[in-house]
Chain A
């Protein structure tokens, strides 16, 4: 029915615009609606490309500074493209970061936390969305509270506790809360899952229940696999945020053998400053900082490149909002 109406409407429009060439050009240029015209599209592209350029400008600078040699760095006529690609800075940053070790630690820690949070937050999110729980509203209030409490409030008692149990200077205090659906931004992930499960039709679970499946089976065989869009979003966010997190490692892993990349980068800038005080600033000081920053986010960039399509789709389907 609707389709038919549409067809007749466009039909009549075409006819009228055929009769009036001026109107037709107007339609092509400005469109029937704001987003249909050619001029608007052009304007949109200009605006988006400009914004994107401003937005990404620091990254371009980072990459180009990193591959300049000493000559290009001091040459004011070289802004973007260096005369030759110099990888010495990158090499030095790689060595200073102790990259392969730091990468391994970061990757292990982030993967563990992300996997644990993907599972444990899903369980809690499902409970909040669908199950009957005594004092549910109160617990939900607690969940929101968890979201707004800064990690700094709980860090000191947690450090005392970690000292007490002798797990300081290990990654355990960072990983353990993730097992229980907490940890870095855990509350946000529970909320994301809750929103996702709320949008799913109830009939699915009811059908499974009538077939005699108990609640665990319903969740792990039906609902959890359904939640793949939410899983992608939570896993990626969790991975990226844990990878980038500087605060918790700086508290728990201080003076420890286990140093993720986010720690190495601050150690390097301190080291560089100390060197600069001793022997004057080096030309490469900024380049090395840029290179370490780049090395730190490079794995994330690669991960994002492979997952961005799923990620964007996932965000749109999780019902992150409402």
Chain B
């Protein structure tokens, strides 16, 4: 009798849980799972929208072949410069967020004001406004122009890389603007390190420099990891990036195939980040 009741209470609990999650689950199936499956289906088919309904023709892997091998310009022309830039942008954003968060964590008068300033770009990080700034060349670091860095770079590096780097430098401030959320994450992470640890280190004779490398940085690794993931996702799903702009309603099949290839690349990037951090933390634990 008692057992019976207990069983009923666990099923009741599960029902309650399902009831709470059900709006999200319905949403997941309607707005995520089904469109995802349908988009995959579309990437193998030619789709025409006619007044009578959808006209579907099986195309097999032909769209993927077209994009990857035959007409590579659709993908590679935009993708490769973008990936090159991303390789610079991701570390810049993550490191900047870490440094600003560490600075903002110190106690000093006016801290709130500075925090407000550094969170501000969360508001601006919109394609349109940033694009306007970019067109005006507002993103460049003015003082670098005096040194004529771009022409120097084009002499030293192969043209593809020098154009990447000067592109990154030209929009440097705007890249920093992507770091609003990352600063928040880092700041919250920095506050998980108790002040007593630093005090103990100081009593043991550690210099501030040492305590940064031995305490702050190791404790921040999980948050740096989180930030890297967030940055990758944010950068790659930003509607303004060149591949995303190619997804249009003009050719459903081709666009779907393109976006799936692109999604594969995002996953690959995330996996690299994941394994990189995994190995790093393992190595760190071993040395400890």
Decide yes or no whether A44 CB sits under 8 A from chain B.
Answer: yes
Count of A interface residues, CB-CB < 8 Å: 91
The residue in chain A whose Cβ has the minimal distance to the Cβ of B172 is: A54
How far, in whole Å, are A186 and B21 apart by their CA atoms in the complex? 14
Contact of B24 among A134, A145, A181 (CB under 8 A): A181
Looking at chain A's contact residues, is the secondary structure mostly helix, strand, loop, or mixed? helix
Decide yes or no whether A111 CB sits under 8 A from chain B.
Answer: no
CB pair B128 A131 closer than 8 Å: no
CB pair A150 B138 closer than 8 Å: no
Within 8 Å CB of B256, what residues of A?
Answer: 153, 156
CB pair B121 A139 closer than 8 Å: no
Interface size range of chain B in the complex: 35 or more
Decide yes or no whether B42 CB sits under 8 A from chain A.
Answer: yes
* Proximity bits, A133-165, B CB within 8 Å = 1, else 0: 110100100100111111111111111110100
CB pair B132 A269 closer than 8 Å: yes
CB pair B133 A58 closer than 8 Å: yes
Q: How far is the CB of A124 from chain B (nearest CB, A)?
A: 4
* Proximity bits, B218-254, A CB within 8 Å = 1, else 0: 0000110010000001001101000010010100100
CB pair A246 B239 closer than 8 Å: yes
Looking at chain B's contact residues, is the secondary structure mostly helix, strand, loop, or mixed? helix
Within 8 Å CB of B120, what residues of A?
Answer: 56, 304
Decide yes or no whether B173 CB sits under 8 A from chain A.
Answer: yes
Within 8 Å CB of A215, what residues of B?
Answer: 16, 19-20
Contact of B108 among A44, A146, A293 (CB under 8 A): A44
* Contact A134/B18 with A157-B38, A321-B226 known, Cβ cut-off 8 Å: yes
Within 8 Å CB of A181, what residues of B?
Answer: 23-24, 27
* Proximity bits, B245-282, A CB within 8 Å = 1, else 0: 00101001001100110110011001000000000000
* Contact A150/B38 with A47-B103, A296-B128, A316-B191 known, Cβ cut-off 8 Å: no
Decide yes or no whether B187 CB sits under 8 A from chain A.
Answer: yes
Within 8 Å CB of B17, what residues of A?
Answer: 127, 131-134, 136
The residue in chain A whose Cβ has the minimal distance to the Cβ of B25 is: A139
CB pair B188 A163 closer than 8 Å: no
Decide yes or no whether A80 CB sits under 8 A from chain B.
Answer: no
CB pair A182 B14 closer than 8 Å: no
Q: How far is the CB of B145 from chain A (nearest CB, A)?
A: 14
Within 8 Å CB of B123, what residues of A?
Answer: 240, 244, 297, 300-301, 304
CB pair B27 A180 closer than 8 Å: yes
Decide yes or no whether B39 CB sits under 8 A from chain A.
Answer: yes
CB pair A180 B23 closer than 8 Å: yes
Within 8 Å CB of A44, what residues of B?
Answer: 103, 106, 108
Contact of B244 among A127, A150, A322 (CB under 8 A): A150
A binding-site residues for B, Cβ under 8 Å? 32-35, 41, 44-45, 47-48, 51-52, 54-59, 61-62, 120, 123-124, 126-128, 131-134, 136, 139, 142, 145-161, 163, 176-177, 179-183, 186, 190, 215, 219, 237, 240, 244-247, 262, 265-266, 269, 286, 289-290, 293, 296-297, 300-301, 304, 308-309, 311-312, 315-316, 318-322
What are the 4 closest A-B residue pairs judged by CB atoms, nearest first?
A: A180-B27, A34-B208, A244-B126, A131-B17
Q: Can you list 9 A-B contacts (CB < 8 A)?
A: A133-B14, A134-B14, A146-B28, A157-B34, A265-B129, A312-B115, A316-B188, A316-B191, A320-B188
5 additional contacts (CB under 8 A) given A152-B244, A293-B129: A154-B32, A179-B27, A180-B26, A182-B32, A247-B244
